[in-house]
Amino acid sequence: MTHLNHIDGQWVSSATGATFEDRSPADERDLIGAFPDSGAEDVARAVASVAEAWPAWAAASPEVRADALFKAADIMSRRADEIAAELTREEGKTIGEARNEARRIAANFRLYAGEALRLNGETYPSEAGQIVFSLREAVGVVAVITPWNFPLSMAARKIAPALAAGNGVIFKPSEMTPLMGQRLVEVLLEAGIPPKLLALVQGRGPTVGRAITAQAGIDAITFTGSYAVGRDIQSSVSTDTRCQLEMGGKNATVVLADADPAKAAAIIERGAFGLTGQACTGTSRVLVARPLYDAVVEKLASVARAIKVGPGTAEGVKMGPLATRGQYDKVLSYVAIAREEGARIVTGGESLCDSDPALAHGYFVSPAVIADLPADSRLLREEIFGPVVAIGAFDTLDEAIAIADETEYGLAVSLVTNDLPAVLRFARTTRHGVVKVNGPTTGVGLNAPFGGYKHSSNQAAKEQGGATVMDFYTRIKSVYLGA
């Protein structure tokens, strides 16, 4: 089936008619469809349409914007299981993980529907005979560029607040999950979002993404993806274009000496191997107090060996395929690097495509636990984005904090302990934007601010967090009212 862009209120092919193919990571023979391979001309048309449409949307009453988002939530709730099945087919995550993501979208829409009704300014003390107050106004045209690992939730938590604030949106989903981008737009249009207000431009990052950063008339860009691409976006746009960039992570779980090894292993499993390790907040490193090191390595290896890997809809499967051939090759290459560095491959890190005919045409690997790495190991510093855990030991809390913080990233970190003073010291000291205690690095609340330190974020504005995130999607105007 050939799918289309949505530009200027219509479903259309790319300007050149070119397409690209979308295939399932569980079986690369499974063709999901062909999608527009768009370029600069498509982006220009989308910007012109959205720029024309957004002022009327911004001028509409907040109830109109809220009502559309509430309706989108209801539609998404009805379609959640259907869209989840397509998500598993397209991205590879298990059906349970896909259902959780699909259902979360409805919650996102409801959260920001409420924020549309709470966009208020403030009044300020002033001299006699004058009132000073502030107004919040829409930014204008917002470009939303999202990754493949959470193709629904990443997009919804950007598009929903943008619309709630009165903006128009140009949406460029990942070329690895274009169908999910289309489904999200279909839901919003069915809910009553004005057709010309929301543009969907499918295509490859190096063409469509670059065209977006080069196109005049875009007032803000919100992006989630790699640090390299985020840095390129930041350097490409004009100084008056807002940028919200959420980028990579090299997240650690720290296990103190008072922790239970079995509990620690269960927490690490969820953070490292859930979603096939393809979460920006996923656990990539584990730091264990030396007295517990061997016990935690053994428990985690046992847990990893018990994980059933396979197609996301198969009975009993806990971990699906990697989402792309590139991710599959990258994960296997890092396991090879670990061997070259002299590390111990405790378990996993092997291709499963030759071991089971049902897996022969997908991107399946066994979850890897790697121990005894040298201090300068690349696995301790570089983002892998797959089900690979590197484990090291430490002697003091200060040493653990220093090791956890020494990478260029600072997104999420987890601490496993019952020592409250250690928890408080850790939370106040570590340079990470998300700190979890006795829980996995993955999983964040819809209403809590999200973002990292260092190369994990450009620090412009937090994502999520209800009212907090609305600062990015609105401008503040001060009004001095005299008699």
DSSP bridge partners of 22 = 33
What string of H, E and C letters represents the secondary structure of 323-385?
CCHHHHHHHHHHHHHHHHCCCEEEECCCECCCCCHHHCCCCCECCEEEECCCCCCHHHCCCCC
Which of 57, 56, 45, 40 is CA-nearest to residue 6?
45
Tokens of 224: 């989630």
Q: Rounded to 5 degrees, what angle do the CA atoms 196, 91, 278 make?
A: 110
Tokens of 303: 């847990």
Known catalytic membership, residue 82: no
Distance CA 122, CA 50 (A): 29
Q: How far is CA 331 from the centre of its chain?
A: 19
Q: How far is CA 186 from the centre of its chain?
A: 21
Tokens of 222: 């919100």
Q: Which of 86, 90, 246, 269 is catalytic?
A: 246
Count the neighbouring beta carbons within 10 Å of the beta carbon of residue 182: 22
Distance CA 59, CA 61 (A): 6
CB 383 within 8 Å of CB 284:
yes
Tokens of 234: 């930041």
Distance CA 86, CA 256 (A): 41
CA-based torsion, 29, 31, 34, 37: positive or negative: negative
- Residue 240: is it exposed, middle or buried by C-beta count within 10 angstroms (0-12/13-18/19+)? exposed
Catalytic residue annotation:
246
